[in-house]
Amino acid sequence: MFYVYILTSQKDGSRYIGITTDVERRLQEHNNGGAEYTSTHTPYSLSWYCGFPDKNAALQFERYLKSGSGHAFASKHLLS
């Protein structure tokens, strides 16, 4: 299973969107500074995630959520 997830920084409210096969492990990696892009915004909390049986479908949805319209969709429908 592949998971698309959204993390929210407890420090400044910024969001990070990613994909993984293990959501708990990935959240720990982000919070322990193991991901360079997010290391300055720790700690994070898991705001949303969704499982996909197909890696390509998960990658496409992650890419959409990172787009302008995807950010709007997430704010209105996934994080409200």
Domain chopping of the chain, boundaries: 2-78
Q: Which CATH architecture has domain 2-78?
A: 3-Layer(aba) Sandwich (3.40)
Task: Chunk the chain into consecutive blocks of 10 residues (it has 80) and report each block's average pLDDT, rounded to whole numbers.
Answer: 97 96 97 89 97 98 97 94
> What was the pLDDT predicted at 57?
98
Interatomic CA distance for residues 33 and 43, integer angstroms: 9
CA-to-CA separations, 42 to 7, 14, 18, 60, in angstroms, rounded = 10, 10, 15, 26
Interatomic CA distance for residues 30 and 34, integer angstroms: 6
